[in-house]
Structure 1
Amino acid sequence: MSKYIFNLPDIGEGIAEAEIVKWHIKVGDVVAEDDQLADVMTDKATVEMEAPVSGTITAIAGEEGDIIAIGSMLVEIAVEGEIDPEKLEELEASDNGAENAKADAVTSVQDVDIKEKNTPSEPAVEKQSEAAPAPVETAADTASEASQSEGNKPLATPAVRKRAADLGVDLRQVKAQGEHIRHSDLDAYLNYGSGEGYRPAGASRKREDETIKVIGMRRKIAQNMAESKRHIPHFSYVDEIDMTELEDMRADLNANRGDRPKLTMLPLMIVAICRSLPDFPMLNAIYDDEAGVVTRHGAVHLGMATQTDQGLMVPVLRDAQDMNVWQLATEIGRLAAAARDGTAKAAELSGSTLTLTSLGPLGGVATTPVINRPEVAIIGPNKIVERPVIIDGEIHARKLMNLSISCDHRVVDGYDAASYVQALKHLLETPVLLFAD
């Protein structure tokens, strides 16, 4: 038997170290060649590492979240017999198995969004599982409970018994108004009869303390957020926009869309952003503070903050200014889905020049989003609500929305930010201009 040391290979772009974000094996496991060993994350990507030989794992580099240097041991594998010299030479020639790093299956983290969870209205919709049907009390249940009544065990339906267990309530202390303890009896005990005075139902439910290691995407988000707040002097500006006409236009467009995708407010808002940006080039820019250089971009590569299971990511709508609303709707859906299922390519997750972030229906009154460094501005539409508005002395119901913008005060003056929001407001409140040449 011989031992093979699989060192963390050089996975390109001058990376000096990587973080172990997930182990797929443990010491003692038997692996075959090409079995997945671990996922490691660099500043650029998450890469899958595969076993270069078959054998038994005898040592691993560390725990999830540990940082290890390129070229240091990742795993040690005990191999039956001697490794074939040609195989060993092949492994050494491939830089200790660098060919096994599947660079095509990467998820870029360079431009991970660095703010609180502000997501666009389409990607922000989280999957909601259907509520499981409540247990139904049957004659069989009653008979079963009756058969268990010996030893002073109280009679209760399975649903009540489970709820009591979740709440930490001893059902023997609960007084029943009938033969069985019901939810109403449990509520009465929780509120009045526990001997502790009134307390809300469920107050006894208490989560245990948890210590969670911050690793992987969450660690990168934390680092980027800290860097952004540390280096960028933020200021935010908020204004109210009447979205009534635009909402009516959106309804008309959807009613006549045919087989095209259904429009949310996002594509229309992006059209307005792109049409108003040429007069405000200081906003569609990135700032290299080390070199002291601002690059003002002509094309609008719009980042969209998107919530995924791994954390916030920012897929990029490239050349958004060249797309119509239907093309934007299609591309938004495609990029959001790719970000969520991990199939987004590195090029689709980097290179944004301006970011749009929204919580959609959860948007709240106003936001103060954190800038996606090295960009210099981020736009945050908030929730649309219907409110009474006085027009010409009469009260009308209008659909209003607050629009937030955060800017880098080193590059963007407050006057410029306010002027831009006014220009954007004019387009959104007069939506016919979105389609006028």
Structure 2
Amino acid sequence: MGEHLIKMPDVGEGIAEAELVEWHVKVGDLVREDAVLAAVMTDKATVEIPSPVDGEVLWLGADIGDVVAIGSPLIRLKVESEGSASSGSGPSERAAEPPAQTGEIEAQADGAVKVPDAIVERQAKSTPPQPVERPQAPAARMHRAPVTCAEGERPVASPAVRLRARESGVDLRQVPGSGPAGRITHEDLDAFFVHGRQTAKAPGFAQNTSVEHIKVVGLRRKIAEKMAIAKSHIPHITYVEEVDVTAVEDLRAALNANKRADRPKLTLLPFLMRAMVRAISEQPHLNSIYDDEAGVVHQHGGVHIGIATQTGSGLMVPVVRHAEARDLWECAAELNRLAEAAKSGLATREELSGSTITITSLGAMGGIVTTPVINYPEVAIVGVNKMMVRPVWDGSTFVPRKMMNLSSSFDHRIIDGWDAAVFVQRIKTLLETPAMIFVEA
């Protein structure tokens, strides 16, 4: 028998550390080669750490939420081979073997796991973790009895399962867990949705004095850090203007009705993106990154528009690069692709970084005014609010018009209130007279 030490792998060029967001194993678990041991996060991208060998978990080197340096000891396994593989040791038998068939993962001589760039990077809302396979009789695996946690105990579940339960209003203490040690899986939640709620008692009016202490980790921690920096560093000025979008909505409907089969359906956002590109060409300093430590404004020629996107794991901002070089249909296609990648957890680090100005939209929720927080270190963000039909006076009578507010925030250190108003008014003019979007001045 021997030991095999697995270190925090190199999860990307220039990355010095990663946050541990989930353990898929615990001490005493038997794991098989390529079984997922843990998930770590860097810059909103999540990477799974697989096991390079079969073995038994002897020791875990970090807690959920810890930030671990690349190359630090992460997990120790007891393996069948003679001797041990660890930092500074000679090549192990595993290191001499040919790489796995996928060619994605190989064990290094020092026991660390090398993760090439091709490894799958996902968002914090990852594919539900598969239970670690333990040797047991087939009948025992097939007939594991669900376990409900005892009174006062905290249910055993992954962060992804807890998030899903919280969003669905489910108390995990009511859900029987079929995983190891009563661990609640996504399949257990599915079964509870189908059967459990049919027999659940109606909520009463008794006091609930329970308090759940939830450590802020992963994507939520990164969002918290970035929002704190944005609000503490940037003196925001927010400007709200209503826009008559009747004409652009009529144009959008006509284009969708006559579009080619290979073109995506247009929403309002591609029109807004094209209007922003035109407005930025007249006020290029709004398309900037402000390095407040160096006191330098980096004014970009390319318009890289971040699209704030709500996912099951939290807020993400995929980036439509070079919007100035895309027409309506290309903007729409890229929007669809990036939104799907973000929501499915497959967006890459490159797709989630590099924006120079951001759009945020809460209109679907019905809000008429918002105060958007700037995506630091950018200097402007444009917020889309609810569209609704309202009576508008045309000089002689009231007529129904489709109206929508734009709520936009600006970094007042770089953008004066006058310039902010000019920018929003230019976007308003372009949306109210959409032909101007397509005609060069």
User: Normalized against structure 1, the TM-score is what?
Assistant: 0.75
Match of 2:290 among 265, 278, 287: 287
* Secondary structure in 1 matching 2:289: strand
Report if the CA contact (8 A) 2:21-2:39 is conserved: yes
Higher relative contact order (CA 8 A, sep 6+): 1
Match of 1:167 among 194, 203, 215: 203
Instruction: Report the Cα distance in structure 2 between the residues aligned to 1:362 and 1:24, rounded to whole angstroms.
Output: 36
Deviation at 1:7, TM superposition (A): 2.1
Tell me the equivalent position of 2:73: 73
Name which of structure 1's ranges 340-349 and 410-419 shifts more when overlaid on structure 2.
340-349
- Post-superposition CA distance 1:290-335 (Å, at most 9, x none): 1111111111111001111221111111111111111111111111
Instruction: Report the Cα distance in structure 2 between the residues aligned to 1:378 and 1:161, rounded to whole angstroms.
Output: 45
5 Å-filtered alignment, 1:25-174, equals 25-43=25-43, 45-83=45-83, 86-87=92-93, 93=108, 96-100=111-115, 104-107=119-122, 162=199, 165-168=201-204
Runs of 4+ in 1 over 6 A off after TM superposition: 158-161
Q: How many residues align?
A: 356
Identity %, equivalent residues: 51
* Secondary structure in 2 matching 1:294: strand
Deviation at 1:160, TM superposition (A): 12
Match of 1:430 among 420, 430, 433: 433
- Post-superposition CA distance 1:329-371 (Å, at most 9, x none): 1111111001111222221111111100102322411111111
Report if the CA contact (8 A) 2:123-2:346 is conserved: no
Cα 1:392–1:221 shift into 2, 3 Å: same
Instruction: Report the Cα distance in structure 2 between the residues aligned to 1:258 and 1:310, rounded to whole angstroms.
Output: 35
Instruction: Report the Cα distance in structure 2 between the residues aligned to 1:104 and 1:52, rounded to whole angstroms.
Output: 14
Q: Does residue 228 of structure 2 align to residue 226 of structure 1?
A: yes
Match of 2:239 among 227, 237, 240: 237
* Secondary structure in 2 matching 1:389: strand
Match of 1:353 among 353, 356, 362: 356
- Post-superposition CA distance 1:48-105 (Å, at most 9, x none): 2121222100111233222333333211101124158543666885553341466632
Tell me the equivalent position of 1:278: 281
Report if the CA contact (8 A) 1:302-1:317 is conserved: yes
Tell me the equivalent position of 2:211: 209
Tell me the equivalent position of 1:249: 251
Unmatched runs of 5 consecutive residues or more in structure 2: 85-90, 97-105, 125-166, 169-194
Report if the CA contact (8 A) 1:10-1:95 is conserved: no
User: Normalized against structure 2, the TM-score is what?
Assistant: 0.75
5 Å-filtered alignment, 1:356-375, equals 356-375=359-378
Counterpart AA for 1:8: M
* Secondary structure in 1 matching 2:406: strand
Instruction: Report the Cα distance in structure 1 between the residues aligned to 2:322 and 2:256, rounded to whole angstroms.
Output: 24
Cα 1:92–1:210 shift into 2, 3 Å: closer
Tell me the equivalent position of 1:376: 379
Instruction: Report the Cα distance in structure 1 between the residues aligned to 2:410 and 2:394, rounded to whole angstroms.
Output: 33
Deviation at 1:206, TM superposition (A): 5.8
Counterpart AA for 1:212: I
Unmatched runs of 5 consecutive residues or more in structure 1: 110-127, 130-157, 169-202
Report if the CA contact (8 A) 1:49-1:101 is conserved: no
Tell me the equivalent position of 1:391: 394
